[in-house]
Amino acid sequence: MSLMKAAARRIPGLRRLDARGRLLGLTPSNAVCAEIGVWKGAFTERVLRQRKPASYHLIDPWAFQGDMPDRWYGGAIADGQGYMDAIHDDIQQRFGTLPNVTIHRSPSVEAAAEFDDDYFDWVYIDGDHSYEAVLADLECYAPKVKSGGWLLGDDFLWGGDSLPVKRAVEEFVASGRAEFAQRFDQQFALRRL
């Protein structure tokens, strides 16, 4: 077993990093891609370093949602809209001037209308983890991903017994528009049919 794998077994944070690395290993470099739910840009940084995308769209409203107190952006970490504005400003400063990055400050379903069909090589879904929102992201972005491209996402087993992400993903796969390709810990990969 590699040193990284042995360490990842013992340390949950490392296990997540390793799973994300393996997930990104499925994707081509120099791709046209998007991240839905960007937060403070930890995954963004990794994608830029590891995959060197040709065009990377960052989609997040950076809106405080006090009616969702269990979410980072609803009170679990953020304490109000000022906190979210500060995150957005930091993202804008770090990534906004890069020639291959476009920032879309809006909810994912609204932003979807800005993209042509068959535009993306891959999309990573990590925004609102409710069943309805994950299903809506899959429904809206599947046509925007090329056939053979990837619908990727995080937190497959999030949400306690109700497993909203898993239920939405499995329901979408059952519709026949994508096949379940891989899972690495909480990371999932669907291949667009």
Binding-site ranges for ligand SAM (CB under 6 A): 35-39, 42-43, 59-62, 72-73, 107-108, 126-128, 133
Whichever of 138 and 148 has its CB closer to ligand SAM, that residue is 138
Distance of CA 81 to the CA centre of its chain: 22
State the nearest-atom distance from the C-beta of 176 to ligand SAM, in Å.
Answer: 25
Q: What is the dihedral of CA 136, 138, 139, 142, to 10 degrees?
A: 150
Whichever of 125 and 190 has its CB closer to ligand SAM, that residue is 125
Instruction: Give the list of residues 6+ apart from residue 17 with CB closer than 8 angstroms, or none.
Output: 8
State the nearest-atom distance from the C-beta of 154 to ligand SAM, in Å.
Answer: 6
β-strands 120-125, 145-153 pairing = parallel
State the nearest-atom distance from the C-beta of 158 to ligand SAM, in Å.
Answer: 9
Whichever of 66 and 193 has its CB closer to ligand SAM, that residue is 66
Distance between CA atoms of 15 and 18, rounded to whole angstroms? 5
Whichever of 141 and 174 has its CB closer to ligand SAM, that residue is 141
Please give the angle made by the CA atoms of 109, 182 and 10, to the nearest 5 degrees. Answer: 105
